[in-house]
């Protein structure tokens, strides 16, 4: 997953999401090894952060 700067720049088919999306907000300030909770229509899901990389 790749967080983009604006909602109109996100390309979901390439794994990009808007920085204001629910998953990006759930992962904000998370570090490798953290487990975060994501609220979905079907309930709360836990997501483990495996790796964080930065690209230019």
Tally of domains within the chain: 1
- pTM equals 0.65
Residue 55 lies in a domain: no
Q: How confident is the model at residue 7 (pLDDT cuts 50, 70, 90)?
A: low
Share above pLDDT 90 across residues of the chain, in percent, rounded to a whole number: 36
Residue 17 lies in a domain: yes
pLDDT in tens, 23-44: 888 888 999 999 999 999 999 9
Residue 33 lies in a domain: yes
Q: Is 10 exposed, middle or buried (0-12, 13-18, 19+ CB in 10 A)?
A: buried
Residue 15 lies in a domain: yes
Assign residue 17 the CATH number of its domain: 3.10.50.30
- Range(s) of the domain holding residue 8: 2-48
User: Distance between CA atoms of 28 and 5, rounded to whole angstroms?
Assistant: 13
């Amino acid at each position: 997953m790749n967080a983009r700067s604006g909602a109109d720049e996100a390309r979901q088919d390439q794994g990009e999401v808007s920085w204001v999306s629910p998953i990006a907000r759930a992962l904000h300030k998370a570090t490798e090894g953290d487990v975060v909770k994501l609220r979905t229509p079907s309930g709360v899901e836990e997501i483990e952060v495996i790796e964080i990389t930065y690209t230019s």
